[in-house]
Amino acid sequence: MNSKSMTSTLIACIAVCLVAIIAMTVVLINGMNKNDTSSVDSSGTSTIDTADTSSQNSTSSQDSSSLISSSDIETSSNVSSKESSSSVTSSKNTSSITSSFTASPGVGSAYYPPNDGDKVAYLTFDDGPSTKVTTKVLETLEKYNVKATFFVVGTSNMNMLDEIYNAGHAIGLHSNTHEWNIYESTDNYFADLNALSDKVYEKVGVRSQIIRFPGGSSNTVSRKRCEGIMTKLVQMVEDEGYAYFDWNVDSNDANTSYMEKVDGKYLPVPKSTIVKSILNNAQGKDKICVLMHDIGAKTTTAEALPEVIEGLRNMGYRFEVLTKDSPVFHQKVQN
């Protein structure tokens, strides 16, 4: 063997060794990824570790429990900032979120009942009771023998709760004050919820177990008050034994883009728009949870109700009230 061929053999040997070392390093890194932050105690691999978890380390310098919670929040804000882009839900961070959501399907993410051929409509009225509109709504519901669900507000006309409840409708908890400061902290939220629960209990003698978050679970108005609070609340209310309900059919009765503005004031959404919105949005869905409002200004909602009920009946729906065990209607949490 001459010196030239010896040199090339040596180079080949070194190359093979290098490839082997690189391969082992890759295997090591993969193993580290699986263990995630738990491998910080291994001094020999600290360079790999910091590179891998630098984003998490930069968001948290405290103990491991705060590291987990703050990274969860950060992930949710990442997701929300990219809105509905599904590609951001593939990282290991989101798996830690979903794994903690076990109480019901789709807590924190969009989930609606799959079609099964059985058509059920859940009519829901938020923000009431209000003397005039609620009275009209109750009359129509009685006339058509339809039961609905009222997500009530503590500052409204609570004296009507008896009448609603005794007519066989369900009472759900919306908010005691309906002020956005309920989203400043989880303590604030539950103080408001519990105050409303007490009021409902005083009036009708039952503890309501169903909730509708002001703005829905997908609201982004809470982000200004407390980053990540909805991600926490959707889980916490379920842990407390509540079921929360969003909607998959919007009547658009509170949608200002459908309102005419006269002298700086919005007029109610036209009755025909409400009927059309509901019947069109129901297409293709066997289970519908319909969002409507029964505050004093929503006169056209009450006026639209007969056509809504007739239209949905013609489409094959029957009507039920929401209970804790009703199908899940969850929008995607965005804060």
CB nearer to Zn ion: pick between 120 and 211: 211
CA-based torsion, 34, 36, 40, 41: positive or negative: negative
Interface with Zn ion (CB under 5 A), residue total 3
Segment near Zn ion (CB under 5 A); pick from 5-13, 50-58, 154-162, 210-218: 210-218
Neighbouring CB atoms inside 10 A of 200's CB total: 21
For the bound state, the minimum distance from the C-beta of residue 182 to Zn ion, rounded and expressed in Å, comes to: 11
Q: Which of 72, 74, 127, 246 binds Zn ion (CB under 5 A)?
A: 127
Bridge partners (DSSP) listed for residue 149: 124, 170
For the bound state, the minimum distance from the C-beta of residue 126 to Zn ion, rounded and expressed in Å, comes to: 4
Asked if residues 253 and 286 have their Cβ atoms less than 8 Å apart, the reply is no
Per CB under 5 A, 320 contacts Zn ion: no
- Distances from the Cα of 137 to the Cαs of 17, 146, 225, 315, in angstroms? 80, 11, 34, 21
For the bound state, the minimum distance from the C-beta of residue 127 to Zn ion, rounded and expressed in Å, comes to: 4
Residue 220 is given by DSSP the state S
For the bound state, the minimum distance from the C-beta of residue 150 to Zn ion, rounded and expressed in Å, comes to: 12
For the bound state, the minimum distance from the C-beta of residue 174 to Zn ion, rounded and expressed in Å, comes to: 6
CA distance 281 to 243: 24
Asked if residues 322 and 289 have their Cβ atoms less than 8 Å apart, the reply is yes
Segment near Zn ion (CB under 5 A); pick from 53-61, 120-128, 137-145, 318-326: 120-128
CB nearer to Zn ion: pick between 163 and 179: 179
Asked if residues 75 and 97 have their Cβ atoms less than 8 Å apart, the reply is yes
Segment near Zn ion (CB under 5 A); pick from 109-117, 127-135, 241-249, 274-282: 127-135
For the bound state, the minimum distance from the C-beta of residue 178 to Zn ion, rounded and expressed in Å, comes to: 6
CB nearer to Zn ion: pick between 120 and 153: 153
For the bound state, the minimum distance from the C-beta of residue 213 to Zn ion, rounded and expressed in Å, comes to: 9
Q: Which of 49, 126, 192, 294 binds Zn ion (CB under 5 A)?
A: 126
Coil, strand or helix at 327: coil
* C-alpha angle 70-73-75 in degrees, rounded to nearest 5: 110
CA distance 315 to 279: 9
CB nearer to Zn ion: pick between 108 and 128: 128
CA distance 2 to 25: 35
Nearest Cα to Cα of residue 311 among 286, 284, 283, 275: 275
- What residue ranges bind Zn ion (CB under 5 A)? 126-127, 214
